[in-house]
């Protein structure tokens, strides 16, 4: 159950991340900031005032938050909106620069949020984190959000705006000459992805029920980056497949760490072995499909039909590896 | 009155004067040329007019309104489209999508309408597609509509770039060395093609070119730049005989005197 919830949340996050990194081609390294904001906002809004007093032992929670209690959907939405507000604030400095500089700026904002979460004890309870959240996240919520995120992002990518975002990735100068306000388009994509990061963060918080700043380090961003690169930068289908595969593999590979008996030999469990195997799998993907599992291709029923009918010999236009 | 004017346009990069005191006046429907040796500042003129550079002095006037310092996307929306010297296509996008990107700046549907596929968006998208295909038909690229643009042969990429510029609905088209890398046969076709689109879309065209055969055959008026200075301006027949132009292109005939 928990794994399936995790899969759905990572699909949401990966699809949103792919919009900005894969489709727009901007190396954004701060999704952990938005996920943190979403997680904390949603958590603080669903906890009852009594739970909050129990949690905030060192420094009491500031007043309006200490009394607030919202139903789960409203809290998720609030998490998303707070992430959007932060994106709106950071979007102006972020999109003044491009390339490596943009990566550094977003990375910086990611760290800023983590450090704030660690030190603003009156809001986040600092490194102690928030404990005992009610596990509201169930399959309906997590998959509902995943489906909604995928539908919205896919609809956007396949629209005229998505085409413009692709154009910005391919050649920003030419895109500007073609009349695209690149700042506005990038900001739009950034805000939309921030919203889903925030909602995903809220879901994550209510799945694991205990959150602390150490959960939302750059490592989380890095995992998402691996997922979208393996899936194929720019492919929503690839992001979904890779998010599911990555999350499931992380769990299933726990088997290899347990002591096992093969043909009478007893192999002691090696902790960390699953990470080795996962890394090897990632290496193989990158060696054999240099542009990720899907490249920039997308799944379509028509394409599947063609492939099935044509068999091996029938070459599907555009489906071959570039 | 001129559709596009530059008045005493100046551009300096640090201590380097890339362009000094340029005065152009392109009338509506004109086909003007900008020529000059390498490094004369021709592309700088285009970058200034299309908003990619901010001039260090002077003004640019478009249709009676000053446009100095406006960003490129707004200028495109007002009807100034350009192509690039080194072709800049969206290589991984299909040929049709490249043209559709050009139409995007004329769309009115918002993000929400696009995501929800509301009627106005659907209507605009259908309209874009049919006009895009018609445009490709016209430039002779309809057969390649679904191919990635980066895989087209060179001459076709040039045409696609012009088609994309046309899709933005321009009144004035800035062509930066459209004949670069084309053979004489293709250059002849290009002259014909530029004349055809000019008449069909009522365009005003400003063209930068090295290929004198193309500009002499095409333009009504030429401005010659050398080291950022305007050294001559006038009809092609006069320019051909202008001593300064001959000197700039062929070098000076000079007896070496050591003193």
Tell how far CA A43 is from the center of its chain. Answer: 18
CA dist., res. A112 & res. A27, Å (int): 18
The residue-averaged pLDDT of A198-221 equals 94
Q: β-strand B2-13 against B172-176: which pairing, if any?
A: unpaired
Q: Which chain B positions have a beta carbon within 8 Å of A180's beta carbon?
A: 73, 101, 104-105
Q: Is the pLDDT of residue A274 over 90?
A: no
The residue-averaged pLDDT of A61-80 equals 88
Least confident of A93-102, A117-126, A266-275, B206-215: A266-275
What integer best gives the mean pLDDT of chain A?
88
Pick the residue with more confidence: A281 or B253?
A281
- Interface contact A155-B115, CB threshold 8 A: yes
By the CB < 8 Å criterion, does B116 face chain A?
Answer: yes
What share of chain A has pLDDT > 90, as a percent? Answer: 63
b/e code A126-164 from CB counts within 10 Å (16+ = b): beebbeebeebbbeebbbebbeebbebbbebbebbbbbb
User: Which residue in A152, A167, A179 has the most chain B C-beta atoms within 10 A of its own C-beta, making it the best mutation to test that interface?
Assistant: A179
Q: Which chain A positions have a beta carbon within 8 Å of B74's beta carbon?
A: 181
CA B72 to chain A, closest CA, distance in angstroms equals 6
Q: Is the pLDDT of residue A91 over 70?
A: yes
Considering CB atoms only, which of A161, A166, A177 is closest to B93? Answer: A166
CA dist., res. B245 & res. B239, Å (int): 7
Reduced DSSP (H G I as helix, E B as strand, rest coil) percent helix, strand, coil of chain B, to 5: 40, 25, 35
b/e code A73-110 from CB counts within 10 Å (16+ = b): eebbbbbbbbbbebbeebbeebbeeeeeebbebbbbbb
Q: Which chain B positions have a beta carbon within 8 Å of A182's beta carbon?
A: 73
Q: With a cut of 50, which residues of chain B have pLDDT below it?
A: 259
Q: Give the pLDDT score at A319.
A: 41
pTM: 0.89
Q: Give the pLDDT score at A23.
A: 94
Contact (Cβ atoms closer than 8 angstroms) between residue A12 and residue A83? no
Q: Which chain B positions have a beta carbon within 8 Å of A163's beta carbon?
A: 93, 97, 100-101, 104
b/e code A211-222 from CB counts within 10 Å (16+ = b): bbbebbebebbe
Question: What are the residue boundaries of the structural domains of chain A, listed by start?
Answer: 2-216
Q: Give the pLDDT score at A54.
A: 84
Q: Give the pLDDT score at A63.
A: 76
What share of chain A has pLDDT > 70, as a percent? Answer: 94
Q: Which chain A positions have a beta carbon within 8 Å of B107's beta carbon?
A: 160
Nearest CA in chain A to B166: A178
**Model ipTM?**
0.90
B86: alpha, beta or left? (left if phi > 0; alpha if psi -120 to 50): beta
CA B117 to chain A, closest CA, distance in angstroms equals 8
Residue B183 corresponds to which tokens in the numbers above? 């053979």
Q: What is the DSSP letter of B255?
A: -
- Interface contact A171-B73, CB threshold 8 A: no
Q: Is the pLDDT of residue A37 over 60?
A: yes
Nearest to A92 by CA among A194, A187, A189: A187
Considering CB atoms only, which of A174, A296, A317 is closest to B88? Answer: A174
Least confident of A41-55, A56-70, A150-164: A56-70
Angle between helices A139-157 and A160-170 in degrees, nearest 10: 70
Least confident of A56-70, A182-196, B99-113: A56-70
b/e code A286-317 from CB counts within 10 Å (16+ = b): eeeeebbbbbbbbeeeeeeeeeeeeeeeeeee
Q: Is the pLDDT of residue A146 over 80?
A: yes
CA dist., res. A91 & res. A105, Å (int): 10
Q: Which chain A positions have a beta carbon within 8 Å of B106's beta carbon?
A: 179
Pick the residue with more confidence: A271 or A22?
A22
CA A145 to chain B, closest CA, distance in angstroms equals 16
Q: Give the pLDDT score at B171.
A: 95
């Amino acid at each position: 159950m928990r794994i399936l919830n995790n899969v759905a949340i990572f699909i949401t996050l990966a699809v949103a991340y792919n919009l900005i990194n894969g489709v727009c081609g901007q190396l954004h390294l701060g999704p952990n900031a938005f996920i943190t904001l979403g997680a904390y906002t949603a958590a603080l809004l669903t906890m009852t005032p009594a739970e909050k007093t129990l949690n905030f032992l060192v420094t009491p929670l500031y007043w309006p938050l200490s009394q607030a209690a919202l139903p789960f959907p409203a809290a998720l939405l609030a998490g998303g909106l707070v992430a959007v507000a932060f994106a709106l604030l950071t979007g102006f400095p972020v999109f003044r620069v491009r390339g490596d500089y943009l990566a550094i700026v977003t990375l910086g904002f990611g760290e800023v949020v983590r450090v704030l979460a660690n030190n603003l004890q009156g809001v986040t309870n600092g490194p102690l984190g928030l404990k005992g959240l009610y596990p509201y996240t169930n399959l309906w919520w997590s998959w509902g959000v995943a489906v909604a995120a995928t539908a919205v992002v896919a609809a956007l990518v396949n629209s005229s705006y998505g085409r413009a975002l692709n154009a910005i990735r391919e050649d920003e100068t030419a895109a500007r000459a073609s009349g695209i306000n690149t700042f506005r388009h990038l900001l739009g994509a950034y805000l939309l992805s921030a919203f889903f990061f925030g909602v995903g963060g809220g879901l994550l918080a209510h799945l694991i029920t205990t959150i602390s700043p150490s959960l939302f380090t750059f490592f989380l961003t890095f995992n998402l980056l691996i997922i979208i690169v393996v899936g194929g930068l720019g492919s929503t289908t690839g992001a979904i497949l890779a998010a599911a595969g990555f999350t499931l593999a992380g769990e299933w590979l726990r088997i290899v760490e347990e002591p096992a008996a093969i043909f009478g030999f007893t192999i002691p469990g090696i902790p960390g072995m699953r990470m080795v195997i996962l890394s090897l799998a990632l290496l193989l993907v990158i060696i054999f499909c240099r542009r990720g599992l899907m490249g920039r291709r997308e799944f379509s029923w028509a394409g599947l039909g063609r492939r099935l009918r044509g068999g091996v010999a029938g070459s599907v236009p555009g489906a071959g590896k570039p | 009155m001129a559709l596009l004017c530059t008045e005493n346009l100046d551009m300096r990069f640090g201590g380097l004067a890339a362009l000094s005191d340029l005065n152009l006046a392109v009338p509506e429907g004109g086909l003007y040329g900008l020529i000059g040796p390498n490094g004369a500042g021709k592309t700088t003129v285009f970058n200034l007019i299309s908003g990619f550079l901010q001039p260090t002095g002077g003004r640019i006037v478009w249709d009676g309104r000053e446009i100095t310092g406006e960003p490129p996307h707004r200028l495109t929306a007002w009807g100034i489209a350009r192509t690039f010297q080194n072709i800049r296509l969206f290589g991984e996008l299909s040929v049709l999508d490249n043209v559709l990107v050009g139409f995007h700046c004329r769309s009115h549907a918002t993000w929400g309408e696009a995501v929800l596929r509301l009627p106005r968006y659907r209507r605009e998208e259908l309209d874009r597609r049919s006009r895009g295909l018609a445009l490709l038909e016209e430039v002779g690229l309809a057969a390649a509509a679904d191919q990635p643009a980066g895989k087209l042969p060179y001459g076709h990429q040039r045409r696609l770039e012009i088609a994309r510029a046309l899709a933005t609905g321009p009144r004035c088209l800035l062509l930066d060395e459209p004949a670069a890398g084309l053979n004489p046969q293709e250059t002849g076709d290009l002259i014909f093609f530029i004349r055809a689109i000019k008449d069909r879309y009522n365009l005003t065209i400003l063209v930068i070119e090295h290929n004198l055969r193309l500009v002499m055959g095409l333009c009504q008026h030429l401005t010659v730049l050398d080291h950022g200075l305007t050294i001559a301006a006038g009809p092609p027949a006069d320019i051909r005989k202008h001593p300064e132009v001959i000197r700039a292109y062929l070098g000076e005939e000079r007896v070496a005197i050591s003193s």
